[in-house]
Structure 1
Amino acid sequence: MTSLKTLVQSSQAILLDFDGPVCHLFSGLPAHEIAEKIRSFLLDQGAVLPESMMSESNPLAFLGWVGLVAPHLLSDVEEIQTDAEIEAARLVEPTPGVAEMLRSATPLDLPVVIVTNNSAEAVETFLDRHLLGSSVTGIASRIKGRPDLMKPDAHLVLKGVEIAGHPAAACLLVGDSPTDMQAGIKAGVRCVGYAKRPARITELSEAGADFVVQSMESVAEVVTSLRA
């Protein structure tokens, strides 16, 4: 397995998933509460939800389902989701190590692009609140009306590559879910998995991660060392 140091040193840009590597977005406003709000809205609108959606705790899953089954309700559900993400972004702190990583990348001329299934508004709210906006080259975020283009589709990763201005093979994606790894592999970038809990180590490895870390501080240490 290629070492983390080798992966970072040989990369010309870093792509960061937002929820997890940058912040634990729903630590202050739990995702299952947002899912329940969306579910209640859909039921009030007369939508007939399958059993899987009646127990679904990931609000982003509703976007995909609504886009396929009830597209006339998609804009309303997207608004509920985006408003909740913005509220959540006002409550959370950066994942330990990520602020140091971002600030160390800037003088190295190492572009960092946020690649996320969350809304751009939520990312901007978070970055502005923590004065990190100047350390981020751009944001490739969920596209309104196109939940089908969320990861594991490669579209957002490829958009991040375009923003970074370097070939996909020279970009390194850091994400915390198997879908991040799947999207990265489809896009042709190299992937580092961030395992927030031990169970994720195997999941990320099996999903194709080139390396798995258990803290963003590990990534920050390598990026910071490049300045020496």
Structure 2
Amino acid sequence: MTTDLDRSTVEEAYARWAPIYDVVFGAVFEPGRKAALQAAERIGGRILEFGVGTGFALPNYKRTNRLVGVDISEPMLQKARERVEKEKLDHVEGLCLMDGAHMGFADNSFDVVMAQFVITVVPHPEETLDEMARVLKPGGEIILVNHLGAEDGPRAAFEKWFARRARKLGWRPEFQFARLHNWALKNGTVDMPIKRDVALGMYTMVRFRKRSEAEVAGAAEGVKLAG
């Protein structure tokens, strides 16, 4: 069973990564970021960049969008603030230090919630996804892009073996798509996830559409009748 990371481990890990994050991961993650940004731009509007990190992706959004970034790491956010100021990113409304499982935004605040290479490293993924769904407007989408763990075979065995060692880096390499699918079933306010491989299968983009109140009520009634 996948174990959760604790917040202090994540904060310490990303405080260490902050000075070199863009150099180490900028080019590596670029194909996944590009695919996720294209999906987000098709919706547009007010976008929550969850796990904004150093703000690496912020300049790539169209200026017609309004962006809010959140992160659990203050050193990473400081890098993002410097980027916003240096590049005059006036479409960024704010950058906030927040625990993803307890975000301080009103319900239905965003048209898109974007999480790039982050859902597998947050301390409590299911609670964080619940919060993403809460702050998302009906009809909007949660868009995730990440490396996801293999379901079986040699890579799955290696990821399971490597998991304990990866905790010190703030990673959860054995995190599988099934965990996202099971969350959607339990949450009940989003459609079942749609996934697509990107960057020749290196990463997976996963999208959840939030249902309207009428759709949620109808689904609940259907379950009731079926029972």
TM class by smaller structure: 0.3 to 0.5
- TM-score normalised by length of structure 2: 0.41
**Structure with greater strand share of residues:** 2
**Structure with greater helix share of residues:** 1
- TM-score normalised by length of structure 1: 0.41
